[in-house]
């Protein structure tokens, strides 16, 4: 029997995964609160075009799927789990793809567990749209092995551990990537006006053999386009570190640095295109800062 998949939360990621599964013949049903809102008609039409059926409510979705993928926002995760729980049977598999904090995943698990349904914490390890349902996933919890063996084309790596373990790995990865991004940003806003930024990036190659200039271009490009979201991710990392008794000095500082960049209007400035270089990001920050802010680069 073909596995039937339900998708709760039909945003960018949910729609991309749904379309990918439907395209290879998996029966997919979606539900989103917004189906009944002002954009409902357009959203339902988009689902229809990609071969995804639309459920009238979350109960209908649960009755039409054995595997339920939750792709709602972190803020809605527990409420959605509470709405879903009464509809679940022990043969259901519920995968939480969107709760990035291990603590939140455990709260969702606490809601699902009494139903007897299997639960799995899924950390999505790359951007969904280009990969659709084949995006690399890291899974932990009682339902992880079952998710990995479903014959529907998912790319699942099973991680030993309870729900929360996969999300923890993802956040720890974010600490390094986004922390480095914030560090390079702080470096660049000081070094570009002082002169010698490229020289320093070049000189570091001796210690860390990576193309640091290319890395600065890439990571500050991510800041320019998605600084606010990436700052929020570092703030979640900080929360997790506090939960395990580590004061998140770097994580907090990094979140602050990326939020500072976002508050200087970078995402508006680079809405439609990536910046050409890290120097262009610094120039945009300096232009926006205009002397009002104590941390204005180059201001005395």
- d(CA 14, CA 65) in angstroms, rounded, equals 15
Q: Which residue has the tokens 């270089």?
A: 277
Determine if 165 is a binding residue for its own copies (CB under 8 A): yes
Smallest separation (angstroms) from its own copies to the CB of 279 = 14
Compute the C-alpha angle 104/110/115, nearest 5°.
135
Q: Which stretch binds its own copies (CB under 8 A): 64-72, 78-86, 173-181, 267-275?
A: 173-181
Determine if 300 is a binding residue for its own copies (CB under 8 A): yes
What spatial distance separates the first Cα and last Cα of the chain, rounded to whole Å?
A: 69
List, in sequence order, every beta strand (DSSP E) within the chain.
Answer: 5-8, 28-31, 53-54, 67-70, 93-96, 118-124, 136-140, 155-158
What is the token pair recorded at 92?
Answer: 């259901």
Determine if 240 is a binding residue for its own copies (CB under 8 A): yes
Smallest separation (angstroms) from its own copies to the CB of 169 = 4
- d(CA 227, CA 57) in angstroms, rounded, equals 35
Residue pair 143/94 in contact by the 8 Å Cβ criterion: yes
Contacting its own copies (CB under 8 A), which of 111, 182, 262, 266?
Answer: 182
Determine if 176 is a binding residue for its own copies (CB under 8 A): yes
Smallest separation (angstroms) from its own copies to the CB of 211 = 9
- d(CA 168, CA 166) in angstroms, rounded, equals 5
Q: Which stretch binds its own copies (CB under 8 A): 29-37, 59-67, 105-113, 171-179?
A: 171-179
- Closer CB to its own copies, 1 or 244, in the complex: 244
Contacting its own copies (CB under 8 A), which of 38, 90, 130, 209?
Answer: 209
Residues 248-287 that bind its own copies (CB under 8 A): 248-254, 256-257
Determine if 125 is a binding residue for its own copies (CB under 8 A): yes
Smallest separation (angstroms) from its own copies to the CB of 7 = 26
Determine if 159 is a binding residue for its own copies (CB under 8 A): yes
Smallest separation (angstroms) from its own copies to the CB of 256 = 5
Contacting its own copies (CB under 8 A), which of 35, 109, 119, 187?
Answer: 187
How many residues interact with its own copies (rule CB under 8 A)? 60
Residues 6+ apart with CB under 8 A from 295: 260
- d(CA 177, CA 131) in angstroms, rounded, equals 21
- Closer CB to its own copies, 25 or 196, in the complex: 196
Residue pair 190/242 in contact by the 8 Å Cβ criterion: no
Order of strands across the sheet with 136-140?
A: 53-54, 28-31, 5-8, 67-70, 93-96, 118-124, 136-140, 155-158
Q: Rule CB under 8 A: which residues touch its own copies? A: 125, 159-161, 165, 168-169, 172-173, 175-177, 179-180, 182-184, 186-187, 189-191, 193-197, 199-201, 203-204, 207-210, 212, 215, 240-241, 244-254, 256-257, 294-300
């Amino acid at each position: 029997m073909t596995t039937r998949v339900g998708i709760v939360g039909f945003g960018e990621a949910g729609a991309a995964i749904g379309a990918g599964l439907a395209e290879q013949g998996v029966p997919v049903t979606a539900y989103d609160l917004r189906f009944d809102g002002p954009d409902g008609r357009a959203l339902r039409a988009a689902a229809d075009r990609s071969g995804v059926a639309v459920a009238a409510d979350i109960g209908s979705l649960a009755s039409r799927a054995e595997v339920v993928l939750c792709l709602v926002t972190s803020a809605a995760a527990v409420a959605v789990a509470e709405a879903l729980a009464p509809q679940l049977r022990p043969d259901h598999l519920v995968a939480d793809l969107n709760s990035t904090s291990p603590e939140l995943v455990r709260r969702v698990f606490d809601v699902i567990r009494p139903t007897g349904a299997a639960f799995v914490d899924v950390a999505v390890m790359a951007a969904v749209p280009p990969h659709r349902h084949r995006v690399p996933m890291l899974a932990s919890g009682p339902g992880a092995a079952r998710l990995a063996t479903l014959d529907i084309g998912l790319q699942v790596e099973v991680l030993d551990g309870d729900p929360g373990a996969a999300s923890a790995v993802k956040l720890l990865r974010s600490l390094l990537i986004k922390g480095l991004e914030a560090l390079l940003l702080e470096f660049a806003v000081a070094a570009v006006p002082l002169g010698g930024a490229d020289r320093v990036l070049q000189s570091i190659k001796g210690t860390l053999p990576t193309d640091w200039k290319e890395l600065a271009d890439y990571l500050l490009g991510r800041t320019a386009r998605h600084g606010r979201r990436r700052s929020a991710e570092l703030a979640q990392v900080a929360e997790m570190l506090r939960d395990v008794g580590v004061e998140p000095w770097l994580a907090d500082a990094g979140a602050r640095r990326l939020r500072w960049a976002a508050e200087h209007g970078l995402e508006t400035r680079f809405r439609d295109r990536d910046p050409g270089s890290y120097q262009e990001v610094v120039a945009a920050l300096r232009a926006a800062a205009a002397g009002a802010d104590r941390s204005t680069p180059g201001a005395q």
